[in-house]
Amino acid sequence: MMQQITLKNGNLYLDSELYDTYFNTINAVALLKQESTFLIMPVQQAGGGLLLKIKNAKGDRIIHAIEFFQQYLPITNEAIPLQVEWSSELCALRFSLP
């Protein structure tokens, strides 16, 4: 099932439903590039990773990832919708940049 996240200013925005479905109780993720796609993988916070910060009372999350994304595209204030899908084999959300 395809869902959507948003990339803006080098940050990823996940709505609360997406977070609850795939990352419930997870506080940190790793971002990885795999060929032409990108992965958001849950990690234990003690092991490092990027924090899934709470954005609002609804429980939407934000991942501050400007250092990661500036390697792959210009950082802009434009909100870029990204289609994501869960990969059971990789235990990660997968997406491509436009």
Give residue 12's domain range: 3-95
User: Number of structural domains, the chain?
Assistant: 1
For the stretch 21-35, pLDDT in tens is: 999 989 999 999 999
Tokens of 14: 């996940």
For the stretch 51-76, pLDDT in tens is: 999 999 999 999 999 999 999 888 99
Tokens of 94: 């997968």
Q: What is the pTM of this model?
A: 0.91
Q: Measure the CA–CA gap between 3 and 95, rounded to whole angstroms.
A: 10
